[in-house]
Amino acid sequence: MYRFKLIFLLLILLASAGCSCLPFKNIDYVALNDVNPDNLLQEFKGFLAQKLQVINSIVFEYKWQSFSALGYTQLDLENNTFQVSCMNPVGIKLFELTGNENTINSNFILKELLQKGDLPRAVGEDIRRIYFNMLPSSQAKIEKEKYRIIFSQPIGSGQMKYIFGGSHHWLIEKHYSEKNRKLWSVFYYDYLMDKGRLYPAGLILKHYRFGYNLIIRLKEVR
């Protein structure tokens, strides 16, 4: 129940942004018949920024409500470390966290949030889902479709699927399932190329188990 208590508290602390529809353009699919999967991965890996300092706008959707916030995130993807801080639209700082693929540390959490569930774990897990492990392993199973190339591999107790496509052949979807049940997905609708490095610029995380969406737009690269 801690997750639901946390969700309801966030709804109070974040200022209402109204209901929203799909905020990004649909993927421009192109035929991938002649695309080599290994070359596709090497090209994407070569472009993908490994050290990020970004400011994002965040919309949290739960049922019929949506609420907005502003987040500052630092990531070192080579070492799988992150630092994230978040404030609501009126400038109230909500939390500041640091972590890696195994641990999460709380530098600051608004007192009201401390009383309602494990906020660090919830935020840290979503950061990992979005930014960590954006490339499949070399042992991943490959399935080629006309407009998509799908890489599947076991991760932990479940299965991860990476889907590449679009005019640039970049990562467009990531899905995690356990026991044939999809638990969460990340949809990468847009990227920003800045100084030769690629940054996720428009994405949606859907958490099916807890029924919420995170809509993230890149506002600034530092």
Domain total for the chain?
1
Q: Residue 173: give the domain boundaries.
A: 2-18+27-221
- Angstrom distance (rounded) from CA 161 to CA 128: 15
pLDDT tens digits, the chain, 222 residues: what are they? 555 555 556 555 554 444 445 678 899 999 999 999 999 999 999 999 999 999 999 998 887 788 889 999 999 999 999 999 999 888 889 899 999 999 999 999 888 776 656 777 888 999 999 999 999 999 999 999 999 999 999 998 999 999 999 999 999 999 999 999 999 999 999 999 999 999 999 999 999 988 899 999 999 999
Q: The domain spanning residue 52 has which CATH number?
A: 2.50.20.10
User: What pLDDT was estimated at residue 16?
Assistant: 47
**DSSP bridge pairs for 204:** 187, 215
CB 158 within 8 A of CB 169: no
User: What pLDDT was estimated at residue 18?
Assistant: 46
User: What pLDDT was estimated at residue 202?
Assistant: 97
- Angstrom distance (rounded) from CA 129 to CA 121: 12
User: What pLDDT was estimated at residue 4?
Assistant: 53
Going from the C-alpha of 216 to that of each of 26, 56, 57, 99, 124, the distances in angstroms are 16, 6, 6, 20, 15
pTM over 0.85: yes
Burial of 43 (0-12, 13-18, 19+ CB in 10 A): middle
